[in-house]
Chain A
Amino acid sequence: AQTVTQSQPEMSVQEAETVTLSCTYDTSESDYYLFWYKQPPSRQMILVIRQEAYKQQNATENRFSVNFQKAAKSFSLKISDSQLGDAAMYFCAYRSARLGYGGATNKLIFGTGTLLAVQP
């Protein structure tokens, strides 16, 4: 079974600085998707960035970028020029690329989350 591990329960960063959140996963599959979701105090889950495993190029979205190391099964999130609005819980998630209805292949497997604080 697939698992996702976020080893940093809490992180803190100074405003305008850069922070990296760690995520590792375990799978025997070769084709899958990886995601970072942000959950601010409002508790709305917001998609930050996604990565297709077959793509070697790391995904980027403005100040957010990932370091995807497929062989190491690592998927870290880098937030550059941190802003106060970045303060949130960040969840790393895995999903198999296999299609099908119901069953484990359709599930998002979440990590336990990293609570990011941004200091002014």
Chain B
Amino acid sequence: GAVVSQHPSWVICKSGTSVKIECRSLDFQATTMFWYRQFPKQSLMLMATSNEGSKATYEQGVEKDKFLINHASLTLSTLTVTSAHPEDSSFYICSARAPPGQGIQETQYFGPGTRLLVL
């Protein structure tokens, strides 16, 4: 199956700093990537959808200026948590989907997630 990597796998930072999380599709081109947040024992909450070369579409209630998303290439999307605060501590998961023609376009593949702890 398709592989999606995410880096870093965990990060601890001080309140007020910014943290960047990278998501890469390793063996397919992903025109669309998704960023989720997951709280313990809960389902995934979609934060935003990013399409290569265009602005991300944010879900209602997600602060665009706080969670900056860049999808600069067909294999890389980044999520930057700006001026992080303890309430931003969470598990962040990215997901990638291939465009039509690659045989897997209807399926989303997920990265292993990033645990963020803001002190």
Residue numbers of A with Cβ under 8 A of B are: 33, 35, 37, 42-47, 50, 52, 91, 95, 97, 99, 101-103, 106-108, 110-113, 115
Which B40-68 residues sit within 8 Å CB-CB of chain A?
41-44, 46, 49, 51, 54, 57
Residue numbers of B with Cβ under 8 A of A are: 1, 31-32, 34, 38, 41-44, 46, 49, 51, 54, 57, 91, 93, 95, 97, 100, 106-110, 112-113
Flag if B112 contacts A42 (CB, 8 Å).
yes
- Complex: how many Å from CA A97 to CA B112? 26
Flag if B49 contacts A43 (CB, 8 Å).
no
Flag if A112 contacts B93 (CB, 8 Å).
no
Q: CB < 8 Å: which of A43, A110, A113, A115 contacts B113?
A: A43
Q: CB < 8 Å: which of A35, A44, A99, A111 contacts B107?
A: A35
- Secondary structure at the B interface, as helix, strand, loop or mixed, is strand
- Complex: how many Å from CA A102 to CA B38? 21
Flag if A44 contacts B43 (CB, 8 Å).
no
Could you list 27 examples of A-B contacts with CB < 8 Å?
A: A33-B107, A35-B107, A37-B110, A42-B112, A43-B91, A44-B110, A44-B113, A45-B44, A45-B95, A47-B1, A47-B107, A47-B109, A50-B107, A52-B106, A91-B43, A95-B108, A103-B57, A106-B32, A106-B49, A106-B97, A107-B34, A107-B49, A108-B34, A110-B43, A110-B44, A112-B43, A115-B41
Return the 6 tightest CB-CB contacts between A and B, nearest first.
Answer: A45-B110, A102-B57, A44-B112, A110-B43, A101-B51, A33-B106
- Complex: how many Å from CA A101 to CA B54? 10
CB distance from B53 to the nearest CB of A (A): 10
- Counting chain B CB atoms within 10 Å of each CB, the highest count among A42, A44, A91, A112 belongs to A44
CB distance from A39 to the nearest CB of B (A): 9
